[in-house]
Structure 1
Amino acid sequence: MVRFGRALPKICRIRSASNLNLLILIFIVIVCLICINKTLVEKKSQNISDLTSTILTAAKGGSFLDYIAIESPDDHLWQTNCGGNINIINKRVLLLKNGIISGYFLNAKQTGEVDVENVIGQAEKDEFVTVEKEFIRVPCEDVTFPKLDVKSGYIHLIESIDVTGPDNYYGTTFHRSSEQFVIIIERKDYANVYWTMVELYNAFLTVRMFLRDPKQTCVFLLDVHPKGKLDEIWEMVFGNVVKVKDIKNHEWNFKNLVFGIDRYSGPITTELESLPFISEFQQTIYHANGIITPTKKPCSLGKQYLNITLILRHDYVAHARNPTGKIKRKLANEGEIISHIKSAIPSTKLTAVQLEDLSMKNQVELIYHTDIMIGVHGAGLGHVTLMRPDTGLIELFPTSYFLFRNRHFEDLAGWVGVHYYSWYNRDIFFSDLELMYVSPKTIEQLIKEMAARICSSGSRS
């Protein structure tokens, strides 16, 4: 549901006739921009990636997508090279067997896991590794390296693969070995909740695609970003997480290695109607934090407390290229909103929090127990991925977002069964990208309407 509101209660309107033409021109421009955006969105929805096509093609029976059917090399999508040691599925997924990862062919200016304050000004390229030929080696009957016709965001890593004849190949017994299923991931961002959830889910999906258990999977993170609290969530999902400092100048034997679904090729960014294994993905994170799904209880705003979480956005240093920590889209009157909600709706428990102040474990626990989450559009709303079904998300937008609607969190909410409202500031004469005023009464009304909606939809989780 889309709502509109004013940014400030007292904004002078331009009413003079001399500005009528200007207003008409602005209206025409807005209409044109909306039409252009709609066309681009429709084009994107039709441009489903080849990987998504693999998912749909491999789906077999059932009312829910079950595309872990690419287990068999007999499938027509499956191409095999080097006696089964190199496998390409629909030109998108690359599976290697019985090989070696050699950290001696990996180059990195940092080892990662340093505080961001210690690398202020660091270039973004220095947070990624480069690899040379022979970084990955697999045995092959034909020592002529086969042409790998594969489309992937990891092609710069895939090009490092080399082969050696079976007679000359040996797996090192005096270095490290992984009996687990290995997946290679290169995180593009380490401090953005939304993109972390996308990459984490894609990795989870890659593992389930091969009928593997994430808890019996070893993830190799080939990046050297500074330390971040979101690092913890990778260890919640996967059994073993290996970082560059543990790879460089070491050799690892592997039995099965796959390059994960890259950021832009997965179901979230290609807008599938449903997300395979999303409930299992949620449960994996819940269980890692000792959360047991409770029995459902009756829901009533007047008789039972609802847990309301207001996500705050404050300046903080997250990236080396933003030394001041300045961020946009902050509530100008958060204190006023907090006081009003506590007074106007006493039958709620309101938690106003900047998520960066909490450990990842505490973030997961807070979001799981949240009935209604409210926040200005920002990456932190990516936590909707971990909300229970039949809860609610209220997203607040500055004026400019009405022209180019961002559906990231609306789509996520739909996929996990969370009710969604959006509110847009419609005052085009007030630039509110940095600070946005929202009337406390508007927030109160949105909460009451959302509470009525989630309570009428059934029992409270």
Structure 2
Amino acid sequence: MALKKIATKRNISALMLLLLMQVLLTYVGVWVALDSKNYDSYPGKLKRQDMAVAFSTQNGGKTATTGVPLLQTNLTTTLGAKDNSSHLKTSPKSKLKSENLANVTKEHLVGKVQVSGSKWLLHLFSESKSYCNGKIEMIENVAALFRNAVIDPSLGSAQAQSRANVKDVLLQKELLEFYRLKKGYLKVDDCSDVPAPKNVQIDGGKSDHIKEFNKAVEISTNAADVTHRYDGDFVIMMTRYEYANVYWTVIDLYDAFLMMRFYNRTFNSTDLLLFDAHPLTKLDEIFDGVFRRVIRPRDLTQPTRFRNLVQCFHRGKSPVLRKILQPLPLVNEFRSQVMLAMKIELQPLADRKRRCAENTLNVLFIWRRNYVAHPRNPAGVVARKISNEDELLNITRRNFPKYSVVGEQLDKYPVKRQLEVMGNVDIMVSMHGAAFGFVIFMQEGSGVLEMWPKGDPGNWHMEYLARRNRLYYKSWQNNDEKNEDRRMKATKVSTQIVKDAVKGLSESVCSKYLKDPL
């Protein structure tokens, strides 16, 4: 009898344990389901983005215990990521092995991108510290928000003229295009509790402009006699490097977007203060096209108060520069918001299903040709050209007669037109170059072929940008010196390589529709 009671108790305990495990598995299953649908977030850290927004809405926009709105908390863990900017100095070791497509093809479906499991549970909230009754908010010490702060333009200067015509400043030293600031350039006044200087220092790594900015911040208990106010509500400060380069321009725009979304703002309610004196380039059009207003320091002629002024995190903290196979946070929203702000109409992805069924995919070859982009390259010489452009177009059109196959030198067109072309292409083919930065505007499931000259050490940046944007990716590198014209810096590309690559990418792009006919 006693043994029977013990057995009964054990059965009840086992049953309770099974029920508990079922509840836990159901809970985990719900999160996994949410996780698999959240394409716009970092799998390892941003999985609660949508939940946070919903919670904030239902609770009247309440903030987390750190004082950062719930919409903001998830992004900060990304901004505080390890600085991988050292990878920018490329070497043969920094590039993933390139293989000949005729033998073994390197192809990646981003649907197989590895995720970080449940580690995101450890990153529900991030650190935010406020000083001066909320007038200063330090975010993970990588960015800062200043409320009701004053900029005194008389305490900052640059030797170069911003927005100058590139051809008017050829051979101008880049150092002249950055601002030197004095203490008090940015002042937070009427502060009853002045924090220790080290508490309001932004961690900029080796970034000179962040160091310059840190020494220029002055915090005072006195009220400054400044009545002139900037008419915008929210302004992001950013210093650009490689400003004439598509890839770095895209990173700058994306980082500013993350900072904007961190504070739940939109492009039409955000201004951008480009804190440099670089010449005007065509790529400036993308900033002018998306933000409410773009200003430079020299546009300020007197001490001016700003309601909300944000110093953006330095480039080394950008999620794009993390060498990981995780989708970029909010990348779909970034792409759609930029296209909307630029008034660019995209063909719906549903049209790709029809194009796959009718064998009418859009293929774009991007040509690299000489052009003057910035003062330090007055001859405008561009490397990694293709010497047999027409031959590649002809072989592709012959083998895919219903396809729309075009070749373009994108830099000849306004940025709006460049983005429109990239946003509506199914397959892009080009030698490695900065224009690959625009793959972030290609729609999910598109295909990319990146090619390299013989001996080029290459880098990993464009491949990871494509894969993290959920694109199909192939690469090829020439291994025959006879195909290299070193004087013209051009490569003869095998027509067979291109034909095979376009065929393979076409199959990948259309694979999701094969079992789902029109």
Query: 1:376-391 to 2 correspondence within 5 Å?
Result: 376-391=431-446
Query: Is residue 206 of structure 1 aligned with residue 259 of structure 2?
Result: yes
Gaps of 5+ in 2: 1-41, 57-62, 69-124
Match of 1:160 in 2: 216
Cα deviation digits, residues 4-30 of structure 1 (max 9, x gap): xxxxxxxxxxxxxxxxxxxxxxxxxxx
Match of 1:296 in 2: 350
Find the aligned partners of 1:440 and 1:228 in 2 and give their Cα distance: 35
Match of 1:375 in 2: 430
Find the aligned partners of 1:268 and 1:144 in 2 and give their Cα distance: 33
What SS does structure 1 have at the residue aligned with 2:474? strand
Find the aligned partners of 2:508 and 2:244 in 1 and give their Cα distance: 33
What SS does structure 1 have at the residue aligned with 2:397? helix
Q: CA 1:227–1:89 in 2, change beyond 3 Å: closer, same or farther?
A: same
Amino acid at match of 1:146: P
Find the aligned partners of 1:58 and 1:144 in 2 and give their Cα distance: 31
Higher strand share: 1
Query: 1:326-365 to 2 correspondence within 5 Å?
Result: 326-365=381-420
Q: CA 1:423–1:163 in 2, change beyond 3 Å: closer, same or farther?
A: same
Query: Is residue 455 of structure 1 aligned with residue 449 of structure 2?
Result: no
Contact 2:183 2:215 in 1 (8 A): yes
Find the aligned partners of 2:241 and 2:334 in 1 and give their Cα distance: 21
Find the aligned partners of 2:182 and 2:159 in 1 and give their Cα distance: 15
Q: Report the CA distance between 1:80 and its aligned residue.
A: 2.5
Find the aligned partners of 1:132 and 1:366 in 2 and give their Cα distance: 45
Match of 2:164 in 1: 114
Contact 1:309 1:353 in 2 (8 A): yes
Match of 1:259 in 2: 311
Q: CA 1:218–1:62 in 2, change beyond 3 Å: closer, same or farther?
A: closer
Q: Report the CA distance between 1:290 and its aligned residue.
A: 3.5
Identity among equivalent positions (%) equals 30
Find the aligned partners of 2:354 and 2:400 in 1 and give their Cα distance: 15
Match of 2:272 in 1: 219
Amino acid at match of 2:142: R
Contact 1:330 1:435 in 2 (8 A): yes
Query: Is residue 73 of structure 1 aligned with residue 67 of structure 2?
Result: yes
| Number of equivalenced pairs | 399
Q: Report the CA distance between 1:310 and its aligned residue.
A: 0.6
Q: CA 1:418–1:119 in 2, change beyond 3 Å: closer, same or farther?
A: same
Amino acid at match of 1:77: E
Q: CA 1:364–1:57 in 2, change beyond 3 Å: closer, same or farther?
A: closer
Match of 1:141 in 2: 192
Q: Report the aligned-residue RMSD.
A: 2.8
What SS does structure 2 have at the residue aligned with 1:310? strand
Q: CA 1:291–1:71 in 2, change beyond 3 Å: closer, same or farther?
A: farther
What SS does structure 2 have at the residue aligned with 1:83? coil
Cα deviation digits, residues 203-253 of structure 1 (max 9, x gap): 110111122223211110011111111111112332221123313x33321
Find the aligned partners of 1:210 and 1:351 in 2 and give their Cα distance: 41
Match of 1:123 in 2: 173
Q: Report the CA distance between 1:414 and its aligned residue.
A: 1.6
Cα deviation digits, residues 238-272 of structure 1 (max 9, x gap): 2221123313x333211221111221111111235
Find the aligned partners of 1:134 and 1:438 in 2 and give their Cα distance: 57
What SS does structure 2 have at the residue aligned with 1:98? strand
Work out which of the residue numbers 238, 244, 249 in structure 1 matches 2:297.
244
Contact 1:316 1:325 in 2 (8 A): yes
Find the aligned partners of 1:169 and 1:256 in 2 and give their Cα distance: 17
TM-score, length-scaled by structure 2: 0.71
Amino acid at match of 2:362: N
Contact 1:178 1:218 in 2 (8 A): no
Q: Report the CA distance between 1:338 and its aligned residue.
A: 2.1
Query: Is residue 102 of structure 1 aligned with residue 152 of structure 2?
Result: yes
Contact 2:232 2:270 in 1 (8 A): no
Higher helix share: 2
Find the aligned partners of 1:379 and 1:372 in 2 and give their Cα distance: 17
Match of 1:28 in 2: none
Find the aligned partners of 2:322 and 2:52 in 1 and give their Cα distance: 15
Contact 2:142 2:314 in 1 (8 A): no
Contact 2:267 2:290 in 1 (8 A): yes
Q: Report the CA distance between 1:417 and its aligned residue.
A: 1.5
Q: Report the CA distance between 1:400 and its aligned residue.
A: 2.5
